[in-house]
Amino acid sequence: MARYTDAVCRLCRREGQKLFLKGDRCYTDKCAVVRRPYAPGQHGQGRRSKVSEYGTQLREKQKAKRYYGVLERQFEGYFELASKKKGQTGENLLSILESRLDNVVYRLGFAMSRAEARQLVRHGHFTVNGKKVNIPSYLVKQGEIISLKDSSKSLEKIKAVIEANSFRQPPKWLDFDRNAMVAKVVALPEKNDIDLPIQEHLIVEYYSK
């Protein structure tokens, strides 16, 4: 399976803002955007030309892809799926991306980043409705139960991350029992539930060309 293997801090610098791809490092002075607030590469510090309308739309699409850690073909598939659903395509797209199992694991505080959440899912630490699911792109549905496997609850690394994230509140579309480490999808995520600075209408305009 194809995946991005370069330094993820380059992605944040390219977008000119924090995408929180490195977990707790992003909240410190070691963050690459803080240390080098310019685009990567030989000409990163040079004068930037005015960004065209197309360029603005492209950057918004790239930013959304990188937030959720998906590649181009997969993102295009999500957009096609969103366009076939009732409602506004942009909001449908964000709802689909938020519904990924790796994002749910991250939102519940089991991981410091979505990349770490993907790894936990791939290693089989979570179940959906009592069955092991090791596919990070699995789209959860309303009414489904996501839980940490009993054999994984005693792992020190997972316990430490959960403790470090205890201040984080899960979104309202997830009902989370922190003691039992079990969550229920009470509703599908909506635009107001998503705290990422994504202008989804620009993504729709990009694919409409």
The predicted-structure confidence for 154-205, as pLDDT tens digits, reads as follows 999 999 999 999 888 999 999 999 999 999 999 999 999 998 889 999 999 9
137 and 111, same structural domain?
yes
Nearest to 163 by CA among 144, 178, 142, 182: 178
Q: Which residues contact 149 (CB under 8 A, 6 or more apart)?
A: 124, 125, 126, 127, 132
The predicted-structure confidence for 10-41, as pLDDT tens digits, reads as follows 555 555 555 555 555 545 565 554 555 555 55
Q: What is the pTM of this model?
A: 0.79
113 and 173, same structural domain?
yes
Domain of residue 37 covers 1-43
Residue 29 lies in a domain: yes
The enclosing domain of 207 has a CATH number of: 1.10.1050.10
171 and 95, same structural domain?
no
Which 8-state DSSP code applies to residue 143? Answer: T
Is residue 93 within 8 A of residue 79, CB to CB? The reply is yes
Rounded to whole angstroms, the Cα distance separating 171 from 178 reads: 13
201 and 157, same structural domain?
no
Which 8-state DSSP code applies to residue 17? Answer: S
Residue 48 lies in a domain: no
Rounded to whole angstroms, the Cα distance separating 202 from 190 reads: 18
pLDDT above 70 coverage of the chain, percent = 77
Number of domains in the chain: 3
82 and 3, same structural domain?
no
